[in-house]
A and B are shown apart, each in its own frame.
Chain A
């Protein structure tokens, strides 16, 4: 199994305005109710796998 190491300093935050906008987008998406919760979760898990996101 490959050892995963951070590629950027975990304290790095990047541009604040852009980070804030993306946070607002994520929050707006979560608030949406056009897609049922089960489908939403299946898509979330599939995206996480595709992006190799273990969190």
Chain B
């Protein structure tokens, strides 16, 4: 049986709570999350998850680690300082730069940001990484929107 990746941030629970009347949507969102972790390099997706959470000010996500994903001594603060921090290799930096542009202004994505990832991952790999990035980012945006609307969580 395939292992599932747990969600210590509790975003799954919030999705299930708010979309309680749409179990079909909850199920496919969960499947998309599991498929994202299964299809990508876990360490790199975790780096991106933390960075996206920081940019979106989603502390519930950036303050916890995804179980089973080993970042070694790298901390969330290290991820925030990735452009100069020595813990990250070229592909890490390419992924983090891509993710930052994605979050801040996806329409402003440049060929220069895409090329290093495509060269390293291939076309299919970049397509998969992009899909996984979309999944983890969208979950956070949904959570934060619902929390700010008072539909979920503690924040009014």
Contact = CB atoms under 8 A, between A and B. Distances in A.
Contacts of B25: 25, 28-29, 32
Interface of B: 22, 24-25, 28-29, 31-32, 35-36, 38-39, 106-107, 111, 114-115, 118, 122-128, 130-132, 134-135
Nearest to A23: B28
A52 B107 contact: yes
Contact of A18 (B35, B107, B114, B115): B35
Contacts of A28: 22, 24-25, 28
Interface residues of A, number: 23
A51 B22 contact: no
Interface string A1-44: 00001011101111101111110110011001000000000000
B28 A21 contact: yes
A24 B132 CA distance: 15
Contact of A7 (B24, B114, B135): B114
Interface of A: 5, 7-9, 11-15, 17-22, 24-25, 28-29, 32, 50-52
Contacts, number: 77
A15 B29 contact: no
Nearest to A27: B28
Given A7-B111, A7-B118, A50-B107, A18 B124 contact: no
A17 B38 CA distance: 9
B32 A15 contact: no
B53 to A, nearest CB: 20
Contacts of B135: 18, 22
